[in-house]
Amino acid sequence: MYGKVAQVIRKKGMDFMTINYRYDGVGNRVMKLIEKRMSGTIEFTTTHYVRDATGNIMATYKNSQVQELHLYGSSRLGTYKIPYEPDPNDNTKQIQKDDFHKLILGRRYYELTNHLGNVLAVISDKKILNGTSFEADVVATNDYYPFGMTIQSRTFASEEYRFGFNGKENDTDFGEGIQDYGARIYDERNARFLSTDPLMAEFLWSTPYSFAANNPIFLIDKNGENAEEPNQEQSAMSLSEYIEQLKNLKVQTLSAFNRVHPDQVQKMYLYSKKWGWLDMKHFSRSAEATDYPFFTGHGVLGLGETYEVAQQLEIADVTSAWDYEDLTSNLIGVYFETYLESDEAKGKDFLTNLENYLRELGFDTNPTTDAPNWQQMPADMHTESELPTKRNYDPSHTTEERTSDLDKKILST
């Protein structure tokens, strides 16, 4: 299994510890076997990880006894610690408490995270009375240097919590500052992975050991393979919901529209029965890009409001160039800049023009009822083998002809 650590041996004098790891077919850790020899005694500890089909940890077992269950919403919320007590018949063993199935507060731990998924605090489901008010039961707090090493003077823990920077598991048996990212092992002390990136052929300009493209404030390394923006889940919404969100963000110009934080707006999708999916990230960037040269790895491209504009925009992102909705989104974005200069748009504020433009193109739909594939966002639903042999502006999943004057103007550019 590429990039996986199979064994770690740590020695100090006559004492040593050997850690052996086992993985499933897709590279997820499923077992950790620790052999410790201390002062002539040998101790074995086996940890098993139970995962769901997507690789999320559902439970962990230590020496065949369940230790914790993981609590999930759309992502991991925290853990539930299984209560144990000494075995009255053998003081070297522990057994589950009889109250395992009772609701007893203080055993559920919930994570408080930031935009990068860093666990900043852990609280239990128990509240503490302080005078006439209640306070949260804080189990742990953490603060981090940019690449993940904890700031010791700003870290507190009444109990050990296994997850920290980027929400990843702290592999304390391996060594201090070591984390399991799935595809690779990360050392937060020197800000480097311990093995090369399995996708390094796609990122020849960067060291194959780098973490988050050396930009840990803005990017994460979700599984140790490639850097990406956090919370990149794509969302579909209605046009009215989208405009309302822009109003709340006080967007009043095209420039401000393009610079809104991607997680707030640009990862959104709208849907039209005539045009299919509209990727607002591509739409906003294409609308503004018509006003200035666009810099890419292929040189400076002078952009005009033509068919070639949307095609040239794809050069900047080889991966997204294969998303079938992107050319359409670029084309509609390019023409929006022309629309803003038309007589129809004069005297109206930016958001009114944006709403009128998209409504005329049929984007005033409810994706959850009108889009045939709304549960699978465009970037996740196709592979290269499913792409058309010719790049064009005929997206999939459209059911109506483009017959309005605005449709015809866009198609004729």
**Distances 54 to 49, 117, 180, 371, 408 between C-alpha atoms, Å:** 13, 18, 16, 26, 44
Write the pLDDT tens digit of every residue in 350-394. Answer: 999 999 999 999 999 887 777 765 444 444 444 444 433 333 444
Burial 53-78 (b: 16+ CB within 10 A, else e): eeeebebbbbeeeebbbbeeeeebeb
Mean pLDDT of 274-302: 61
Nearest alpha carbon to residue 123 among 107, 103, 145, 143: 107
For residue 34, what pLDDT is reported?
Answer: 93
375: exposed, middle or buried (C-beta count within 10 Å: 0-12, 13-18, 19+)? exposed
Cβ count near 11 (within 10 Å) = 10
> For position 174, what pLDDT does the model report?
81
**pLDDT tens profile 88-146:** 777 667 777 666 667 788 889 999 998 888 999 999 999 998 888 999 999 999 999 99
- In tens, the pLDDT along 401-410 reads 777 888 878 7
User: In sequence order, which residues have a C-beta less than 8 Å from that of residue 180 and are 6 or more positions away?
Assistant: 29, 168, 169, 171, 186
Give a three-class secondary structure readout of 172-236: CCCCCCEEECCCCEEECCCCEECCCCCCHHHCCCCCCCECHHHCCCCCEECCCCCEECCCCCCEE
Torsion region of 408: left, alpha or beta (phi above 0 gives left; psi -120 to 50 gives alpha):
alpha
User: Taking 80 as the threshold, does the pLDDT of residue 41 lie above it?
Assistant: yes
pLDDT at 266 over 50: no
Strand partners, 193: 186
Give 37 or 4, the one with higher predicted confidence.
Answer: 37
Task: Report how many helices (DSSP H) and strands (DSSP E) the chain contains, helices first.
Answer: 9, 24
What sign has the CA pseudo-torsion 10, 119, 131, 106?
negative
Q: Which residue has the higher pLDDT, 203 or 27?
A: 27
Distances (CA, A) of 112 to 12, 44, 138, 371: 37, 34, 11, 35
Model confidence, pTM: 0.59
CA distance linking residue 113 with residue 115, whole number of Å: 7
Residue partners of 35: CB distance under 8 A and separation at least 6: 17, 18, 19, 20, 42, 43, 44
321 vs 27 pLDDT, higher one:
27
Report pLDDT digits (tens) over 312-325.
444 444 334 334 56
Query: What Rg do the C-alpha atoms of the chain give, in angstroms?
Result: 27
